[in-house]
Amino acid sequence: MTPVSSRLDRLKTRTKNLVQTELETQTSLIRNHPDYSDSLDPFIKILQQTFFIEQFIEQSSKDIVFTPCIQAPLELFHAAGLQPFKLACGSFAVQNMAPLHLPALTCPMIRSISGLLEMNQTEGIPLVIPTTCDWVVKFSELAGLYEKTDIHFMELPHLREEERSAKRWHNEIQLFKTWLEKRTGQKIYSKNLLRSVKLYSRAFELHDRLIRLRRKQIVSGLQYALIMNAMPYQDIEIWMAAVETFVIGLQDTGIRKIPVFLSGSPIVFPNYKMLSLIENAGMAVTADDICTMERTLQGTVAYEDASEFALLKALAQRYHTACSCPTFADNHRRINAMVHTLKQYEIKGVIFHVLKGCHPYDMEASILEMRLKDQGIRFLKIETDYVKEDEQNIVTRLEAFNRTLRSIEQ
């Protein structure tokens, strides 16, 4: 009988090869795309590296900390001198390594993340988990991470507008800071934090410029997804420099498609299925509210003063009250931002992407559909996962949706 470890090693090697092939296929697809420019190379490079964590760590100048969601403030990681590593994975091939005991209807993202952690040597890499959706809350246990690493849970209050929640979350942010200080053995001073906050504000301004270009269809949905997906794995200053280089080299192709708003479950490299299908159907994703795209950077942090308390309070508010994650109970104002963008940029349709097993977004889709249709906005919900078999079916539906939008425009 073959020992278990060698069987596992063989599986690992096979999965790594599969992932490599998947990445190469996807990368070449992206590189052959008319929207592609060489200034996107740094983003693709870093995204490819994220699948091979050992190498990633070797090349990284900072210690890394995993975090699956966007509620752990990036500014705090930066102030602590740590590199956040966003646990979001769009690879289908890596699911080979996912533990077999995962429930049948597991969220594909969670399955991929579990596979990714299994495929790489990740023992001892600390993990910060804001308690957002059930999958995120439970996956560390399912993946058996308890024994392997230091996990810090940030208990996310599921009410956004209540003061008691804000206070609790503020407390969580302070505890998170203490945890980071313990990890690094260095105190995070308010001046360091202020520097990070300012830096991320500058990054957000750059991001805002990028968004405006995107709304005008000068930056395509695909380009934007690459840039934003790569953000939480990089030093923010390097990322900003790369984005600036990209923006300088931009050229307006003059092509204008029917603009649509993309919402729903995360879209993560290399799973750009939805983006390319929408494009193939003759539409352009000019806006979204996806947590791996436009919501990666939470926005400018407005703080009252530069004291530690005020900065942490401002961060807490920005990463909680201002966040429109579907796991919040009082998330009904999420639609306002959506409708506001739709009206401001004359976008007539919303495509809602649901990953099979992603319950919060599934529920949110039904709520949004009712309310958007009341306002005369076309809504298309597409439920899919990382497989390619349903592509044709989706394209047909998207084309029909495109025709509807065109008819409204005419």
Partner 1 sequence: MVERIRLFSQHVFFIVFMYGGRFGIHLGSALPCFSCPFVQGCAGHCYLMALQRTHVGFQTAFEVFFSSAFVHVLWPFALFLILFLPLSKLWCAWLCPFCLFQDWITLIRKRLHIREFSMSRQVRNRLKPVKYILLALLILIPLAIANLGLHPDWGLPFCQICPARPILPLFTGNVSNFHIDMTNSVTIGFTATAMILTGVFLAGIFFKERFFCVFCLLALMHLFKKLSPFRFEKNVHACTGCGNCEQMCPVDIADVHLEKGKNHMPGAVDVLTQDCLGCMNCVESCPVDNALVFKWFDFKIFSSSRQYMTRKWSSK
Partner 2 sequence: MLLDLWKYLILICVPVIGSFGPFLVEARAADHTFWNKDMLHLEFAQMKKHPNGQVSQTFIVHRPENQTDKISVLFQENQRPEVYTVPLDQNTFSIFADKPSSIRLFVFTRAGQTHHVVHTDMVLFGKSRSLALRTLAKPSEAAVLKTLPHIFLVGSESYYWHQTGIPLTFSLKTQFHPLHPVRFHVADNHQIKPLAADTLNPLQFVYTPSHDKQLRQAGSTAVKHNTVFTCLAHDKKLYHLAYTFQLHRSRHAFENYTAGAIALAGGFLVFAGWVIKKRKTPWWKE
Cβ pair 44, 161 in contact under 8 A: no
Residues that bind partner 1 (CB under 8 A): 160-161, 163, 166-167, 190, 198, 201-202, 204-205, 208, 299-302, 304-310, 313-314, 317-318, 321-322, 324, 332-334, 336-337, 339-340, 344
| Minimum distance, C-beta of residue 225 to partner 1, in the bound complex (Å) | 21
Residues near 318 by Cβ (< 8 Å), separated by ≥ 6?
73, 298, 299, 301, 302
Phi, psi of 61 (to 5 degrees): -80, -15
| Minimum distance, C-beta of residue 240 to partner 1, in the bound complex (Å) | 11
CB nearer to partner 1: give 273 or 313: 313
| Residue 298, SS3 per DSSP | coil
Residue type, 174: Q
| Minimum distance, C-beta of residue 167 to partner 1, in the bound complex (Å) | 8
Residues that bind partner 2 (CB under 8 A): 167, 170-171, 174-175, 178, 309
| Minimum distance, C-beta of residue 316 to partner 2, in the bound complex (Å) | 11
Strands, sheet with 83-86, edge to edge from the N-terminal-most edge strand: 83-86, 64-67, 127-130, 151-154
Q: How far apart are CA 146 and CA 110, in angstroms?
A: 16
Q: SS in 3 state form for 378-405?
A: EEEEEEECCCCCCHHHHHHHHHHHHHHH
Pairing relationship of beta strands 349-355 and 378-384 according to DSSP bridges: parallel
71 touches, from partner 2, partner 1, none (C-beta below 5 to 8 Å by class): none
CB nearer to partner 2: give 178 or 280: 178
| Minimum distance, C-beta of residue 11 to partner 1, in the bound complex (Å) | 45
CB nearer to partner 2: give 101 or 164: 164
404 touches, from partner 1, partner 2, none (C-beta below 5 to 8 Å by class): none
CB nearer to partner 1: give 151 or 322: 322
Q: Which of 337, 265, 343, 261 is nearest to 298 (CA)?
A: 337
218 touches, from partner 2, partner 1, none (C-beta below 5 to 8 Å by class): none
CB nearer to partner 2: give 178 or 366: 178
Torsion of CA 232, 238, 242, 245, to 10 degrees: 150
171 touches, from partner 2, partner 1, none (C-beta below 5 to 8 Å by class): partner 2
Pairing relationship of beta strands 349-355 and 283-288 according to DSSP bridges: unpaired
| Minimum distance, C-beta of residue 376 to partner 1, in the bound complex (Å) | 13
Residues near 169 by Cβ (< 8 Å), separated by ≥ 6?
156, 157, 316, 319, 320
Q: How far apart are CA 217 and CA 201, in angstroms?
A: 24
175 touches, from partner 1, partner 2, none (C-beta below 5 to 8 Å by class): partner 2
| Minimum distance, C-beta of residue 257 to partner 2, in the bound complex (Å) | 50
Residues near 403 by Cβ (< 8 Å), separated by ≥ 6?
none
208 touches, from partner 1, partner 2, none (C-beta below 5 to 8 Å by class): partner 1
First to last CA, the chain: 69
| Minimum distance, C-beta of residue 203 to partner 1, in the bound complex (Å) | 8
CB nearer to partner 2: give 308 or 369: 308
198 touches, from partner 1, partner 2, none (C-beta below 5 to 8 Å by class): partner 1
